[in-house]
Amino acid sequence: MQKTTLLLATSALVLTPILASAETLRWARAGDSLTLDPHAQNEGPTHTLAHQIYEPLIIRDHFGQFQGALATEWAPKPDDPSVWVFKLREGVTFHDGSAFTAEDVVFSFERAKSETSAMKELLTSISEVRAVDDMTVEFVTEGPNPILPNNFTNLFIMDKGWTEANGVTRVQDIANGETTFAATNAMGTGPYVLTSREPDVRTVLTINPDYWGADDFPLQVTEIIYTPIQNAATRVAALLSGEVDFIQDVPVQDLERVAGTDGLEVQTAAQNRVIFLGMNSGADDLDSDNVEGANPLADARVRKAMNMAINRDAIKQVVMRGQSAPAGMIAPPFVNGWTAEMDGAAMTDIDAAKALMEEAGYGDGFSIQLDCPNDRYINDEAICQAVVGMLGQIGVTVNLDAKPKAQHFPLIQNGETNFYMLGWGVPTYDSEYVFNFLVHTREGDRGSWNNTGFSNAEVDAKIVSLASETDLAVRNQTIAEIWQVVQDEQLYLPIHHQVLNWGNTSAVGYPNVSPEDDPKFKFFEMN
């Protein structure tokens, strides 16, 4: 395929053996990838960068549909539905030229199942991963798992030999501040090769000249310069001035300005992500409130009162400039188990909220700290500031502590926050993903993001059953029952479903804005 030439003012021209011309894409977003270790953090921007370098067995394309990556076929074994058989793509090599085989797949999945992996909840039903031959892998599950492939789209395959040689067979313990060779270096099979990495400053990728998909994808972007720009005004200014070509997070206050500028475009879509607040309701006492010897969040009436105090419509109109959809549950509409009834249940009622606070014994209110990121979600700190004022109306005095996501997320993972903001996307499009991470008791290989302290053995058993229930009617009924508990207990305070806004120069083209907000640049074209 002949590629057109576009040399932008600050672009570097990079020649490669497979293209007649080269295109540099200068990409920016609010926050950087947290690590290059593909199993260390289950976080959107981290996965987005990883998708350029590493590959899973299956991806979702920009229309949300399954597409083979390192696997070409997958299906349950005809005579044993507890075994999924994956046929691997032949002729694939890692960036150093070593051959990709089933051994790398087995190694990568075992690594991703390990204690420090952030991906282990996706693999709880797998009892064994085995190589049948160099190009065939079998996944043995504890009972038939009809949606197993849904869990694989962000499960990246590493080079076993490279990982062993560099002493990184163990997944980076990012929650406790560990740094490893795999955190700043990478060896994948993907369309782009890591050239340089300065965390929070600049990452440069160049085209993989031996990429297996050279004839299947446009691959018109041949160099990527990735620059995290936390400040919203600076990020927009970089796009307006031509310093960058593509930003993933156009601030809502600048949408019209960007869209109205010659040579620039804005693409908007509903995102597979809900923004919410979590509460530590399980502790006997809290260290971040002014209540001695008790935990006000342990009372469901307090949690429900706080939920009633949040005016989601006001946040939508004032903070988000109309770019959000108020949420009543912590799952996006894309997800199996979502219902309009539950999602529309969050109603603002200050009088009823005050009555609940009085009934719970907190008529005079209390104070508590809210931990919030300031570089992860759209207007995250501004949303938290709005919530501070809203909760103040019912006597809850909130002390806001906003910090970068690299410092914020470990607070949740290590159980060091009592009241916090989190956003959750569901790449499997199924409620089991939400339950495994956010509802199941925090123990073993489940509940790693459940900082609420909620623990219910009956609910846990129901969550576990979802991985092997083949009767979809029964399975969906179980999902509905779990959601009812989540809603009745008011485990979380949903805020809204996020809307994503991509901004780019007219020279950048792509097939569709993915609800996953994970651009895969091998699909992009340069006009």
Q: Where are the domains of the chain?
A: 24-245+507-526, 272-498
- Output the pTM of the full model: 0.91
DSSP state of 89: P
Condensed to tens digits (0 to 9), the pLDDT of residues 396-430 reads: 999 999 999 999 999 999 999 999 999 999 999 99
The mean pLDDT of 314-338, rounded to a whole number, is 97
What is the band of 94 on the pLDDT scale with cuts at 50, 70, 90? very high
Distances (CA, A) of 68 to 60, 86, 88, 180, 311: 9, 10, 9, 30, 43
Confidence check: pLDDT of 512 > 90: no
Residues 6+ apart with CB under 8 A from 60: 66, 67, 153, 427, 514, 516
Q: Is 75 helix (H, G, I), strand (E, B) or coil?
A: strand
Count of beta carbons in the 10 Å neighbourhood of residue 261: 16
C-alpha count within 13 angstroms, C-beta hemisphere, residue 331: 31
Q: Which residues pair with 60 in a beta bridge?
A: 66
Mean of pLDDT values over 294-299: 98
Residue 110 φ/ψ region, left for φ over 0, alpha for ψ in the -120 to 50 degree band, beta for the rest: alpha
Cβ 476 vs Cβ 312: under 8 Å: no
C-alpha torsion sign, points 246, 251, 252, 256:
negative
Q: What is the mean pLDDT of residues 498-517?
A: 90
Least confident of 11-15, 30-34, 244-248: 11-15
Alpha-helical (H) ranges within 260-361 are 300-309, 312-314, 340-343, 350-359
The pLDDT of residue 149 is above 60 = yes
pLDDT category, 22, cuts 50, 70, 90?
low
Identify which has the larger pLDDT, 527 or 141.
Answer: 141
Report the chain's mean pLDDT, rounded to a whole number. Answer: 94
Q: Do 24-245+507-526 and 272-498 have matching folds? A: no
> What amino acid occupies position 476?
N
CA–CA separation, 307 vs 353, rounded Å?
8
Give CA–CA dist 198/200, Å, rounded: 6
pLDDT (average), residues 250-260: 95
The CATH number of 272-498 is 3.10.105.10
Task: Give the model's pLDDT for residue 9.
Answer: 26
pLDDT, mean of residues 97-112: 98
Whole-number percent of the chain with pLDDT over 70: 96
Q: What is the pLDDT of residues 463-486, one digit of tens each?
A: 999 999 999 999 999 999 999 999
What is 24-245+507-526's CATH topology?
A: D-Maltodextrin-Binding Protein; domain 2 (3.40.190)
Nearest to 107 by CA among 131, 84, 142: 131
pLDDT in tens, 354-392: 999 999 999 999 999 999 999 999 999 999 999 999 999
Mean pLDDT for the stretch of residues 68-86: 97
Task: Give the model's confidence band at 105: pLDDT under 50 very low, under 70 low, under 90 confident, else very high.
Answer: very high
What tokens were used for 30?
Answer: 């609010």
Q: Provide, for the chain, the percentages of residues in helix, strand and coil under a 3-state DSSP scheme, each rounded to the nearest 5.
A: 30, 25, 45
Res 15: pLDDT: 26
